[in-house]
Every structure is written in C-alpha cells, then in structure tokens.
C-alpha cells in the first residue's frame, strides 16, 4: 500500500485495474508476487516502481494477513501487506496493468477499494502509521 503524508493526513494511492487483467476494473492498491529467488523487500520496491514509477522512502510491515480462494488454481492464498511511504510531490506513472490512479484519504478509499480486506488495511495503516506514532517495530530497513 503506497501512502504519502499531507499536513499530517494520510493519502493512499489507489490503482484501477485495466480491463484485460485479472479482476479488471476494480480499485486496489499495488499488488505483486515474489519472483523465485527474490527477497520480499526487493519485490516490494520492484512492484511499487513498476506499477507507479515511485520509489518508497520508508517501508513498513503491516501486522495482519489476508487470505482468498482462487478457483483457477484451487488454492487458498495468504496475503501479507506492506505500507510504502513516498514523497509528496513525485508524479505517478502507472503501468499497463492499470487505467487510472487516485490519491484518496482514508474515508474515500474506504468506499472506493473493492476488497473488504483492503479497506480494513487502510484503516489499520491510518490509525497506526499516520495518526499514531510511526512504530519502529513496523519499520523495515531499506
């Protein structure tokens, strides 16, 4: 989840998936998959750059895990969430996986994001990383 701070308020980068990709047309935050032999932090940095053109200035683990079932591979998938803070005035360059993007506050993102788990994670990040103290325990060294 990519976020930035604006006068003490969090803004979350939402991406609209292109019609030709899986779950086309929904709004979500950056997603991705670890490639064989790739470290998770490298995956996060790569996916954020590929999908948005941004480079995180701070990275945080979010202490929750989601899960979902895909009939295509008949498997239950676990999802870890990471929050990537970026600078305020850097332009976004979306990839061909998306047709649009928007910076939204917590309330707006809560009505735009498709998946309930994504909405819950925005609230968790906003409560703990934006409104609260930035927990050192959550921070990942870059």
- Spell out the per-residue pLDDT of the chain, length 142, in tens: 999 998 889 999 999 999 999 889 999 999 999 999 999 999 999 999 999 999 999 999 998 998 989 899 999 999 999 999 999 999 999 999 999 999 999 999 999 999 999 999 999 999 988 877 666 778 898 8
Closest CA to 85 of 116, 39, 128, 115: 128
pLDDT of 7 reads 86
Long-range contacts of 135-138 (CB under 8 A, 24+ apart): 135/60, 138/60, 138/61, 138/62, 138/63, 138/83
In angstroms, the CA 78 to CA 115 distance is: 14
pLDDT of 136 reads 75
Q: Map out the domains of the chain with their CATH numbers.
A: 2-140 (3.90.79.10)
DSSP code per residue over 37-84:
T--HHHHHHHHHHHHHS---SEEEEEEEEEEEEETTTTEEEEEEEEEE
- Identify whether the C-beta of residue 119 lies closer than 8 Å to the C-beta of residue 126: no
Is pTM beyond 0.85? Reply is yes
DSSP state of 114: S
Q: 96-105 in b/e burial notation, b at 16+ Cβ within 10 A?
A: ebbeebebbe
Q: Which residues pair with 2 in a beta bridge?
A: 84
pLDDT of 78 reads 93
């Amino acid at each position: 989840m990519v976020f930035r701070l604006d006068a003490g308020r969090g803004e979350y980068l939402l991406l609209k998936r292109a019609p030709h990709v899986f779950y086309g047309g929904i709004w979500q935050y950056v997603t991705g998959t670890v490639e064989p032999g790739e470290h998770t932090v490298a995956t996060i940095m790569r996916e954020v750059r590929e999908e948005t053109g941004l480079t995180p200035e701070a990275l945080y683990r979010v202490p929750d895990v989601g899960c979902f079932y895909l009939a295509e591979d008949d498997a239950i998938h676990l999802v870890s969430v990471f929050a990537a803070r970026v600078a305020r005035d850097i332009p976004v360059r979306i990839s061909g996986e998306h047709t649009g993007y928007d910076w939204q506050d917590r309330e707006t993102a809560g009505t735009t994001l498709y998946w309930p788990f994504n909405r819950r994670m925005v609230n968790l990040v906003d409560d703990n990383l934006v409104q609260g103290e930035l927990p050192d325990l959550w921070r990942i060294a870059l």
